[in-house]
Structures are given as C-alpha cells and as structure tokens.
Structure 1
Amino acid sequence: MTRTAVVTGANQGLGFALTRGLAARLAPEDVVLLTGRDAGRVADAAARVAADPATRARVEGRVLDVSDAGAVGRFAEGLGEADIVVSNAIGPLHPDRPQAEQADVFLDVANGGTHAVLRSFGPILRPGGRLLVVASSLGTLDHLPEALRPRFDGVTLDEVEKAVEDWRSALHDGTAEAQGWPEWINIPSKVAQVAAVRAVAAERRERDLAEGTLVVSVCPGLVDTRASRPWFSDFSQAQTPDEAARAVLDLLFAGLDPATYGELVRFGRVLPWK
C-alpha cells in the first residue's frame, strides 16, 4: 500500500530536514508532500530532496498556506487519506519589533495552522498513522500564570481557539500584561499548540490506541535555524536541523507507546504537562 506523508513549513530548516528524513525512510512506492507558501521555494526544496542520493520515496512540492483554514481543508480533502502528517509551519517573529505588532501573522501560522491541520487531517488519518505537531518545551502548562492555566487544561479544541483569540484581542487592546499573559508571545502560543493536540487526542484516544495511531506534539530541542538565530546568543549546544530531525523521525517510525499518546515528547521522553 502506498503511504502518503505531508510536512508543512517544509522548504527550509527543520521541516526540510524532516522531509528529507521521511523521503529516505519511506519506500519507493510512497510519496512525501513538501509544502510551503512560496511556490518557487517549494519547487526548489522538493527538487533538492528528490536529487538527494538517500531519497527513496517520491517527493512532490505543494503550495499550502496553513494560515488559510479553507485551503488546508481543501488540501486534505483532495488527498482523501494520509499516513504521516507533520505540522511544522511557524510564522516570523523578530526581537527588534514590538511583539503585539507581529502577533497576527505569528498566531495565524503557528496556532491557526495547528488548529487547521488537526481539524482537517485528523479525519483522514489512516489507522496506524501519525499526526505530529512540532511545538516546544515552552508549551508545558507551568509556563503560564496559574490564573490562565484553566483556559488550556482539559478543554476542547474550540475552547483552545477561543483562548487564543481572547489573548490576541488583549494584545491588540493593550490589556495582555494586566491579564497576566507572558510578554514573549511564543510562550502562550506553544502552550496553545500543545493544548490543541491534547484536546484532539482526548477525543480520539480509545480508537487511536486500538488502531495503533499516534497523535502527539514534540519538542525538537534547540535547533540552529533562521527563525531561532535572532533569539539566542549561544548556539554552541544547538543541533543542526538534520540532527534535530532524527528523534522526531524515530518517534514517527517507532511502534506506538501509549504513554506518548497525546503528550509533548522531547528526545523520546514525555514532558509533564503540569
């Protein structure tokens, strides 16, 4: 049976490395769809993966803007079924600009994209499939003040989306700090990503475990990429994208461990939510 893998935000950095790893580990009859927003970059990245001597599977570039939930839905509907889905896209965030000014684009991609992938690809995931959201260790609940934690703990995906939109509104009307939201918008964003995975996994858990299907979020650790460079001064311990991709790929191809289902995993180990 032909297997289909989809990676979002895949024309550079970790997404590109994950695409290369999937193309090397899957079989010649399988297909890996490398997606991104820019048609030229997507075509170039897909051609580079296809030309890699380690590549075994067929690689195709597809334009997909994950901030457009309708486009994500149409993309998934066109596929009909998928075996591996990796939600990796992230919006730009720069330290030299006020974060409230960058919030819309960042949240539309990181959080809106996560929600759209979960909603659209979850229903078409084949039994035994893998749906993985790249997040961060910043996504554990303890990174939020206690008063905000109930917005993300034990809630539905609809409620996660509402919390994100309420936070967005607070950023725009200047009340976010008074409400206790962390100044660095990456923190609530990552908590919301992990909470979204947990919400979907809670609804699917019994059936997925019976069928060997995994829904999970992962922290790849510090990775030396264009997106992370502006935020850290010391990259001596950082991984290259290829190095960071290995643990994520190992999780995708490993047998299902129920202990990891719906959790945030870093280097094969579950990070406590609370």
Structure 2
Amino acid sequence: MTPKVALVTGATQGLGLALVEGLAQQLSTEDTVYLTGRDAERVAQAVDALPGGGARVRGEVLDVADPHGSARLAERLADRHGGVDVVFGNAVMRVGPDDDPRAIVEEYAEVNNFGTTRLLRAFTPLLRDGGRFLVVASSFGTLRHLAPALHDRFDGLSSLDEVDKQVAAWRDAVKDGTARAGDWPGFVNIPSKIGQVAAVRALAAQRRDDDLARGILLAAVCPGMMNTPTSAMWWDVSDAPSPAQAAETVLELVSRPVDPGQYGELIRDGAVLPWK
C-alpha cells in the first residue's frame, strides 16, 4: 500500500496545529503529514512540540499569499511522493474589531481568498483515489449572510478565475470606500468566507463526476466557534470548544466514506449548510 501524504496550511497554531496532530494520530507510521506556515522558525518549533507516535510530521514553509508558493510546494511533493491524499486549506489572516477594512482588505483577500484558489489549483490535480481536499471556512460562507442584490456575484460561478474576479471587485470596493455606500456587509469576514465557499463550489462543479467515481471529497468545512484569542476579540468564547475539540469533527470527514450529498458543499458537524 502506498504511504499516505497529508498537508495542512496555516498549521503553526490553533485549529491548523490541532488538525496536524489529529492526522498524525489517525494515519500510520508509514504516512507523512506536512505542517506548513509562512515562518520557518515557527514551523520548526511547532513540529518539535508535537507529541510522538503515528505518522511522521514534516515542516514546510508555505506562504499562501505568495503567487507561486503553492505551485512550488505541490511540485516538490509530487516529486517526493507522486501525489497527496489529504489537504486542509486552513491559512487565514485574522482581523480585529479595531482594524480598518480599507487598510487590511488587500492582504486579507490575498491570504484568505486568493491563497485558497491557488491551493486548489495546485493540489487538487495531485489528489489520489480516496483523497480529501477540505477548505476551512465558516457558517458566514453562505448567501443568507449577503444582501440578495449581491447573490449573483458569487452564485453559479463556473471557474476559479470567475471567483477571483468577483473577490477582486469586492476587495477594490472596500479599498476605495464604495462598499460602505452599497449593500456589502461591513464585516470583511462575510464576503471573504462566501468567496471561499464559492471557490469550492465552482471547482466541484467541474470535478464532481470524476471525483465521486474515485472516492474523492472536495468540500468546505465549518469547525464552529472556537475558544481562541482571535475569536475572543469579537465574541464571548469562554464556553466554546478548544481547537483540538473542534478538529475532531472535521477530521471525521477524512476517515468516513464519501457522502455524495456533501461533495462541493459547506459542512458543519457532519451536516450540509444550505448555500441559499
């Protein structure tokens, strides 16, 4: 049996680190889990701090905001292993209540949105039979959180290029201030998460038949509210699950057989959240 290969982006802390640890325990000693982040020192520290046992954990530097970073890493892993079995797109730029959306939206979209579509382009062609590609989003990533007048911006898109175009238009509207006078929500996380889910849906529409025939799941996942310092800036999360607890439900999608009803959808706690 070919050893399995897993990859987690944004994995030096929080949910990403918990996903790496969970995958390492779920997979065998013959398998490899790649822990990635944009800072080499933090990547090395995270790898060293993980408990032993299970799959081998290797660190790799990956800045998803680098236009060529995902493609370069995909090429290296293809040379080493021939393909990948599990990818978690978890890299995210965090935003606080005091951040000016106009000042941060360019970097925010670069990491959260264009970073997601770059990862999808680079790694979905490497998925082996039975593979999983899961983009970590949130329940904000549905059209119910967007004004109806804006639904057609993200609904029914047929390619990642179309998604990138719509995200860029939103980004530019935030930067020049016109978004504030229109129907866009002030919380930049909402259009960004909708853009992530739209990217999954657009690519899934192209790949669905072949992926399901090969036992592959491509989906967005919502881990739910977690007790993290970033979430605590916005909400009371004192009773929320830890990242390790939230990771458990997400990791079930790796071990369970593929449910065709979940393919291309946003999943939370094993259930599909309606797009519309």
Deviates more, 1:148-157 or 1:185-194: 148-157
Q: Tell me if the contact between 1:5 and 1:84 (Cα under 8 Å) persists in the aligned partners.
A: yes
Report the Cα offset of residue 109 of structure 1. Answer: 0.8
Amino acid aligned to 2:67: A
1:204-256 per-residue CA deviation (whole Å, 9 max, x = no partner) reads 00000001000000000001123222111x21331100000000000111111
Report the Cα offset of residue 100 of structure 1. Answer: 1.6
Q: Distance in 1 between matches of 2:194 and 2:267?
A: 14
Partner of 1:145: 147
Given the two structures, how large is their TM-score scaled by the length of structure 2?
A: 0.96
Report the Cα offset of residue 58 of structure 1. Answer: 0.4
Q: Tell me if the contact between 2:226 and 2:243 (Cα under 8 Å) persists in the aligned partners.
A: yes
Partner of 1:30: 31
- Structure 1 stretches of at least 4 aligned residues deviating more than 4 Å after TM superposition: none
Q: Distance in 2 between matches of 1:229 and 1:62?
A: 29
Amino acid aligned to 1:26: L
Partner of 2:64: 66
Q: What is the 5 A alignment of 1:159-238?
A: 159-232=162-235, 234-238=236-240
Identify unmatched segments of 5+ residues in structure 1.
none
Q: What is the 5 A alignment of 1:103-114?
A: 103-114=105-116
Q: Tell me if the contact between 1:115 and 1:196 (Cα under 8 Å) persists in the aligned partners.
A: yes
Q: Distance in 1 between matches of 2:202 and 2:239?
A: 33
Given the two structures, how large is their TM-score scaled by the length of structure 1?
A: 0.96
Report the Cα offset of residue 178 of structure 1. Answer: 2.4
Amino acid aligned to 1:186: N
Amino acid aligned to 1:168: R
Amino acid aligned to 1:100: R
Q: Tell me if the contact between 1:151 and 1:159 (Cα under 8 Å) persists in the aligned partners.
A: no
Q: Tell me if the contact between 1:136 and 1:218 (Cα under 8 Å) persists in the aligned partners.
A: yes
Residue 85 (structure 2) pairs with residue 83 (structure 1): yes
Report the Cα offset of residue 127 of structure 1. Answer: 1.6
Q: Tell me if the contact between 1:8 and 1:86 (Cα under 8 Å) persists in the aligned partners.
A: yes
Identify unmatched segments of 5+ residues in structure 2.
none
Q: Tell me if the contact between 2:33 and 2:55 (Cα under 8 Å) persists in the aligned partners.
A: yes
Q: Distance in 2 between matches of 1:108 and 1:7?
A: 18
Report the Cα offset of residue 39 of structure 1. Answer: 0.7
1:124-180 per-residue CA deviation (whole Å, 9 max, x = no partner) reads 111210000000000011111111111111102211100110011111111012231
Amino acid aligned to 1:140: T
3-state SS of 1:195 partner: helix
Partner of 1:158: 161
Q: Distance in 2 between matches of 1:223 and 1:8?
A: 18
Q: Tell me if the contact between 2:101 and 2:175 (Cα under 8 Å) persists in the aligned partners.
A: no
Amino acid aligned to 1:63: V
1:32-90 per-residue CA deviation (whole Å, 9 max, x = no partner) reads 000001111100101112xx14x310000111001113111010111111100000010
Pairs aligned (count): 270
Amino acid aligned to 1:48: A
Q: Distance in 2 between matches of 1:69 and 1:224?
A: 32
Amino acid aligned to 1:127: D
Amino acid aligned to 1:179: G
3-state SS of 1:97 partner: coil
Percent identity reads 53
Q: Tell me if the contact between 1:13 and 1:226 (Cα under 8 Å) persists in the aligned partners.
A: no
Partner of 1:56: 54
